[in-house]
Structure 1
Amino acid sequence: MASDTTLATVEIFVLLGISTAIIVLRTYVRMTAVGWEGLWADDYIMILVVLMYSVLAACTQVAVVKCKGLANDDMTPEQRASLDPEGEEYALRVLGAKIEIVSRVLYLVVLWMTKAAMLAFCRRLTERLGKYKKRIWVGIILLAASWLADFLITIFNCRPFPMNWQIYPDPGQMCYPATSPYGVYGTLSLNILTSLYVFFVPLPILWMANIKLWKKIGLILLVSANCFVIAVAILRAYLILSTDTAGARQASRWAYRVCFVAVVTTNLPLLFPLLRRWMSPVMKESHREPRRIKTITAWDRSGSPGKLPGARRLSRWNTGFCPGLSEDGRLTLASLGRSGQRAIVDTGIDCASSDDIEMEEVEDPVREMV
């Protein structure tokens, strides 16, 4: 038991450290590219995620280590009757049941916030493509409604509410916060529904992007990594309901793991260019001569080329954020291969591998298509 408790503690703090490092690195990449003023809703949501995940880590530590995975489940009627209300085990079971309720709510908060961050990320990519706005807002409404439904299941699943930590008499399976069937199946079904919707939102956007096929497939695989959360959530539900003992311990640890997977997969698309840049020496990409473009050409409706006024130098993060995106990480009409009124720009540059690019600045932001 002591070694298992030690391993649980190590796991909790290792996963928390990795998650925090990923979100800090993501924030650094975004700030380097656009500064504080350019941060979007998805960036702020992920900052809130790391705070909520830290609170969930503390609750998991209390439930698994201090309470030893005990709650008001996994007891025979004789054990319940013989348990001293003034004893240590009784107090640990009551505390463990209460912590399970808090952990369940935090689990919903963290998981649903990562989905909201992904939708906000898609909104940022399609800021100049209005027809996708409705899909994203439908997703936000779906997330809000499903989270509220799951929260109400948690609150009203067992009435009166104090029965959630009642020891004797047996309050019934519906009042076991860790293993309640309504809670487990309700959360799982809503999680699958919302995750699938969030997964399908960016697919047509990425597929229409005017980039190489292998890049399209790579970006789609990065986004689809979020579906791995569904697999882990299904595994969590199976282990909780199929295990005869230690239901509270399984619920706490697997809720924490599911949230960890959600944090990693949500941030993976934004960190991929950085990882590729770090791996370029290993893959011998650093020896390639960077391609340069001194000016950018725009075509008006008459078909005559002309230079756009003003020039500036973009940082490597601006040009390396993601292939097919503009400097601030937004899809543009040019990247989707659609004709704009003023300009169509196709630089032909591999943004993920170009470190030194000079481009023209367009005073009108609608005409800035990089």
Structure 2
Amino acid sequence: MANADTEAFTLLALGLLFIIVRVYVRWSQVGSPLNFAVDDYLMPLAGLVFTGETVAAHLVRSQFDGLTNSYMTDEQRAAVHPTSREYYNRVWGSKIQVIGWSLYAMILWLIKFCVAIYYSRLTTGLNHLPTRVRFAYILLGVTYLTVALTIILGCQPMRKNWQIYPNPGNICQPTNSTLSVLVVVIPNVITDLYLMSIPLPLLWAVKIPTRQKITLLGLFSSAAFIIMAGIIRAVTIMTSGPNGAVSGSQWACRETFVSIIVSNLPIIQPLIRRGAGMVGLSGLFSSRGQNSSYKFRGESVPLGSRVTQTGTGTEMGKKSRTRTRVSVSMHDRGTGHGGWGSDEEGLVGGKAGDIKVTQETIIEREVVSKGGGERNAEGFEWEDGGKRMNNMR
């Protein structure tokens, strides 16, 4: 059990370190905690809940010998005297298990809300993606209420959660309650899969180098590790026998740790990218020298592009082939505080400020000539890192 405690507190320390780094990066981006988004406050709260979860797991292992009211035959239940130390350990171990389940669900859904809020900033104005994020809020709210209420109210009266004799039934054995296991793992997997699907359209739409796209695909698909950890925890609880309380607590801490790491990776990616550049791996993140564009309604439209016509006029109503010079800019949405840049900049791998890429293309269009003059070509400008397109007349 000493090794389990060492692992749990090591994961806690690393998880809190990641949260601190995230706060530092966001502080650098927005200039002041007063400018933090909601998820910047929720993530430290998740760190506090992670601390409580780890302490609860430690108490079950070290103070109550990993004992609960589960994994006992009727004969064993009848043999445990209410004044014995074993009875005391089993009662309090079961109470801590109820608390542990509640903290476990709370931290997972806090992290999910952080991810959804981050995606809301990332997808503002991009086709139907904001609608999908708003649905994620509803999905997360409904599933969390379902999970939390099931953990608290699934066994009635609540004192049966730590009843030793007579047998309170599986539903009132918090360590291995089938109801608790399923009502947590199924919504947990469903919500993670849904959140993981939100940024994928961005990866297919944005024109970036293939290796950078693979890097981002791996970044957003890393939630699969959370899903795997959740499933392993559920299976472990149902199959571990008398060690289920300890094993389940261990996997809860592991899953929480992985959730914190995965959810904060996109935020701290600018810092990771800087470190990668120092060791010669900046190519995994940088798109310098490449044409950055976004497919809009089936067409490829450069990010931050302004189109100006350089050809000559023709007669009214005739088509002409004009040579167009396109200046591509990726705008930094940071506040100018010398930080790491915006969320969008962190994903596409540009540096803070404008990145201009020039290309030439041939566009067929109708131009109208009046008195030897010619109407200017229509220009399009993507603002806020590719979030809105304004028609400039």
| The two structures share one fold, judged by TM-score above 0.5 | yes
1:266 alignment partner, SS class:
helix
Superposed, which structure 2 residues align to 1:246-265 within 5 Å? Answer: 246-265=243-262
Aligned residues of 1:236 and 1:254 also touching (Cα < 8 A): yes
CA separation in 2, counterparts of 1:103 and 1:253?
11
CA drift at 1:214: 2.2
Aligned residues of 1:210 and 1:324 also touching (Cα < 8 A): no
Aligned AA (1:315) = G
Q: Partner residue of 1:32? A: 28
Q: Which has the larger radius of gyration?
A: 2
2:77 alignment partner, SS class:
helix
Aligned residues of 1:74 and 1:245 also touching (Cα < 8 A): yes
CA separation in 2, counterparts of 1:251 and 1:314?
45
Aligned residues of 2:176 and 2:238 also touching (Cα < 8 A): yes
1:61 aligns with 2:61: no
Q: Partner residue of 2:347? A: 322
Q: Partner residue of 1:267? A: 264
User: TM-score normalised to the size of structure 1?
Assistant: 0.79
2:306 pairs with 299, 308, 317, which one? 299
Identity of aligned residues (%): 33
CA separation in 1, counterparts of 2:389 and 2:65?
59
Q: Partner residue of 2:13? A: 17
Superposed, which structure 2 residues align to 1:84-103 within 5 Å? Answer: 84-103=81-100
Distance 1:145 1:75, change over 3 A: same
Q: Partner residue of 1:277? A: 274
Pick the structure with more strand per residue.
2
Q: Partner residue of 1:354? A: none
Distance 1:170 1:114, change over 3 A: same
CA drift at 1:284: 7.0
Superposed, which structure 2 residues align to 1:1-370 within 5 Å? Answer: 5-36=1-32, 37-129=34-126, 131-283=128-280, 299=306, 315=338, 317-318=340-341, 321-323=346-348, 343-344=381-382
Q: Partner residue of 2:315? A: none
**Count, aligned residues:** 327
Aligned residues of 2:64 and 2:92 also touching (Cα < 8 A): yes
CA separation in 2, counterparts of 1:183 and 1:196?
20
Distance 1:27 1:346, change over 3 A: closer
Q: Deviations over 1:282-308 (max 9, x none)?
A: 32769xxxx89xxxx9636768999x9
CA drift at 1:94: 0.6
Aligned residues of 2:28 and 2:337 also touching (Cα < 8 A): no
Distance 1:183 1:59, change over 3 A: same
CA drift at 1:130: 6.2
Aligned AA (1:51) = L
Q: Deviations over 1:226-256 (max 9, x none)?
A: 1111111111111111122212112222112
CA drift at 1:22: 0.3
CA separation in 2, counterparts of 1:110 and 1:6?
25
Aligned AA (1:123) = S
Aligned residues of 2:69 and 2:173 also touching (Cα < 8 A): yes
Q: Deviations over 1:22-66 (max 9, x none)?
A: 010011011112222442222222111111111111111111211
Aligned AA (1:321) = G
CA drift at 1:96: 0.6
CA separation in 2, counterparts of 1:300 and 1:215?
27
Aligned residues of 1:209 and 1:324 also touching (Cα < 8 A): no
Instruction: Name stretches of at least 5 consecutive residues in structure 2 with no aligned partner.
Output: 290-303, 310-323, 354-377
CA drift at 1:316: 6.0
User: TM-score normalised to the size of structure 2?
Assistant: 0.75
Distance 1:109 1:345, change over 3 A: closer
CA separation in 2, counterparts of 1:313 and 1:109?
35
CA drift at 1:148: 0.9
CA separation in 2, counterparts of 1:27 and 1:95?
36
1:322 alignment partner, SS class:
helix
CA separation in 2, counterparts of 1:313 and 1:182?
51
CA separation in 2, counterparts of 1:151 and 1:222?
29
Aligned residues of 2:113 and 2:137 also touching (Cα < 8 A): yes
Aligned residues of 1:125 and 1:325 also touching (Cα < 8 A): no
Distance 1:111 1:284, change over 3 A: closer
CA separation in 2, counterparts of 1:270 and 1:33?
10
Aligned AA (2:194) = Y
CA separation in 2, counterparts of 1:125 and 1:326?
17
